[in-house]
């Protein structure tokens, strides 16, 4: 993963404003079609190259994973009914009777072949080095029904990583070319029609019985699922109103009118964390911790939180947000400078940044100028938030330049060009281990992913210690490592925005940014 991605949800939709007996369970309807809006076309359906949320949502209907996460981060069964983990190895015991959509059996060898394809560098899987550790091997034992994943280095969250790794079976294992436009999985639905840029249609597999926690096909699940490409939220809201959609997710101003639609079930879910970084590369103003802390101190982060999220966010407490998000401690409270504009000005004076005739500060003949980078696709709220920051810094004596860019240009700025001083980064990740490459190690100028050129010795030490523990046993140390970054203003977490996921005459659960197919229920009007 070479650019900030990400976004994740975890909710069970609750009935609101639906009338009738509030204590009565809604009546489910068998069969029917559930139509869900995707904000973009998923592109190639090959799981090895799936990086976008819309792609993974699409694949979630056709594929299974070894384990799943619930909304609270608990790991539940999937293809594997149980597992045993050590620092360098996990043994998964598979369910019996699992079949691929083409009727072939899903065996230990099937799973191992799928995993080993992803871990082979020549296949250039996007999950390699992110969820699939480099050098990982998968060893099957068909007689025992087990698959053993072994890593070269300790990997504390290998079980949790498997919640997002699709297992390919059947014809797709023999010929990966069919996965560009088709699917070959053991999931609850089978892809029957794919019209790029328009829709993807799935039909239920009525014999399916190995979903999350042993979930199978039950009353109320739709016979057909259509994933419809709707790029504009206002259009999606219109379609939800007229019945052209059953469900969709909303981040912008259409939320209010969507909530007012009769029969709507709504839920609020976390999005990727809104946070900002200062570039600390050679010659960058942000290399000075005194300057970074003063620039944070002049900002009222509560006010920035409301602006940047359009009022739809809560304080961020740690640096991961996507399920399973196993380490949910507080690395933020008390670790950022309290809002105090006069103290911020005094700190810059003491550091030698003196105001010039035009009010712009300078030191050693160099004016204090900051380029503020953000994604235009993040919407008007983020742009308003960056304008708020720029004005507060201008009042402090900083010359600012707002640089909004589309996703590709923004990613190039972060990961190739380094032509920024502060960047608002919607970094949404699920595991503390995924942060390490972004927040330490070689910078992008040296082939790494450390886009802000951070060099926090406490973070490196503590994250190294945490990585030697398995799973939640290391969480306190992972949170301490993140707190070291926040105290040094290496990263400034501001807000955990929320998305509205709305369904009309239906309920659905969305976890980790992916619709959980076995949770969908069609309801009587």
Annotated domain spans of the chain: 273-499
Return the percent helix, strand and coil in the chain, to nearest 5.
30, 30, 40
What are the mean pLDDT values of the chain's consecutive 10-residue runs (525 residues total)? 30 35 72 94 92 88 96 92 95 98 98 97 88 94 98 92 96 96 98 97 97 96 97 94 95 88 81 91 95 98 94 92 90 96 97 95 96 88 96 98 89 90 90 91 88 97 93 95 98 91 92 88 92
290-304, pLDDT tens digit by residue? Answer: 999 999 999 999 999
Measured in degrees and rounded to the nearest 5, phi and psi for residue 497 equal -65, 165
pLDDT of residue 23: 52
Q: What is the mean pLDDT of the chain?
A: 91
Record: fold of 273-499: Dipeptide-binding Protein; domain 3 (3.10.105)
Separation CA 442–CA 459 (nearest Å): 14
Separation CA 214–CA 518 (nearest Å): 10
Q: Which residues contact 368 (CB under 8 A, 6 or more apart)?
A: 285, 291, 353, 360, 361, 362, 397, 398, 399
Torsion of CA 107, 108, 110, 115, to 10 degrees: 150
Q: Are strands 369-375 and 422-427 parallel, antiparallel or unpaired?
A: parallel
Residue with tokens 């007996």: 21
pLDDT of residue 8: 30
pLDDT of residue 21: 39
Separation CA 147–CA 427 (nearest Å): 32
Are 10 and 511 contacting, i.e. CB atoms less than 8 angstroms apart?
Answer: yes
Separation CA 57–CA 266 (nearest Å): 19
Closest CA to 510 of 290, 239, 263, 322: 322
pLDDT of residue 4: 31
460-476, pLDDT tens digit by residue? Answer: 999 999 998 998 999 99
pLDDT of residue 10: 31
pLDDT of residue 270: 67
Are 368 and 359 contacting, i.e. CB atoms less than 8 angstroms apart?
Answer: no
Question: What stretches of 56-145 adopt beta strand conformation (E)?
Answer: 67-69, 75-77, 80-86, 89-94, 137-141
For the whole prediction, is pTM greater than 0.85? no
Are 521 and 28 contacting, i.e. CB atoms less than 8 angstroms apart?
Answer: yes
């Amino acid at each position: 993963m070479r650019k900030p991605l990400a976004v994740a949800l975890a909710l069970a939709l609750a009935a609101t404003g639906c009338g009738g007996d509030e204590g009565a369970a809604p009546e489910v309807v068998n069969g029917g079609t559930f139509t869900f809006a995707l904000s973009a076309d998923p592109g190639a359906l090959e799981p090895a190259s799936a990086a976008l949320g819309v792609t993974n949502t699409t694949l979630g209907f056709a594929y299974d994973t070894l384990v799943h996460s619930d909304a609270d981060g608990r790991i539940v069964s999937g293809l594997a009914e149980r597992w045993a983990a050590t620092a360098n190895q996990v043994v998964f015991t598979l369910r019996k009777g699992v079949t691929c959509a083409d009727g072939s059996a899903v065996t230990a060898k099937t799973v191992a072949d799928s995993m080993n394809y992803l871990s082979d560098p020549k296949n250039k899987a996007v999950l390699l080095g992110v969820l699939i550790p480099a050098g990982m091997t998968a060893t099957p034992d068909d007689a025992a029904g087990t698959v053993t994943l072994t890593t070269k280095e300790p990997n504390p969250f290998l079980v949790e990583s498997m919640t997002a790794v699709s297992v390919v079976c059947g014809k797709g294992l023999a010929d990966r070319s069919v996965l560009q436009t088709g699917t070959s999985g053991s999931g609850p639905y089978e892809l029957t029609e794919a019209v790029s840029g328009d829709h993807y249609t799935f039909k239920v597999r009525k014999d399916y019985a190995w979903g999350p926690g042993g979930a199978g096909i039950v009353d109320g699940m739709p016979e057909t699922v259509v994933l419809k490409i709707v790029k504009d939220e206002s259009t999606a809201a219109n379609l939800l109103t007229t019945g052209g959609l059953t469900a969709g997710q909303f981040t912008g101003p259409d939320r209010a009118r969507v909530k007012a639609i009769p029969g709507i079930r709504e839920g609020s879910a976390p999005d990727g964390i809104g946070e900002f970084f200062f570039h600390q590369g050679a010659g960058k103003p942000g290399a000075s911790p005194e300057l970074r802390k003063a620039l944070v101190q002049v900002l009222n982060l509560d006010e920035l939180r409301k602006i940047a999220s359009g009022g739809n966010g809560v304080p961020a407490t740690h640096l991961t947000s996507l399920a399973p998000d196993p380490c949910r401690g507080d690395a933020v409270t008390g670790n950022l400078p309290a809002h105090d504009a006069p103290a911020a000005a005094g700190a810059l004076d003491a550091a030698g940044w003196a105001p010039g005739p035009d009010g712009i500060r300078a030191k050693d003949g160099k004016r204090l100028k900051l380029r503020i980078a953000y994604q235009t696709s993040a919407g008007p709220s983020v742009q308003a938030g960056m304008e708020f920051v720029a004005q507060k810094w201008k009042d402090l004596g900083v010359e600012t330049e707002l640089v909004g860019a589309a996703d590709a240009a923004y990613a190039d700025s972060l990961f190739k060009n380094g032509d920024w001083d502060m960047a608002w980064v919607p970094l949404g990740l699920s595991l503390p281990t995924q942060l390490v490459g972004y927040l330490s190690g070689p910078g992008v100028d040296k082939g790494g992913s450390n886009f802000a050129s951070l060099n926090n010795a406490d973070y490196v030490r503590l994250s190294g210690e945490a990585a030697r523990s398995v799973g939640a046993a290391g969480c306190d140390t992972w949170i301490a490592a993140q707190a070291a970054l926040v105290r040094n203003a290496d990263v400034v977490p501001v807000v955990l925005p929320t998305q509205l996921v709305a369904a009309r005459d239906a309920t659905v659960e969305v976890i980790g940014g992916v619709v959980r197919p076995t949770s969908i229920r069609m309801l009587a009007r």
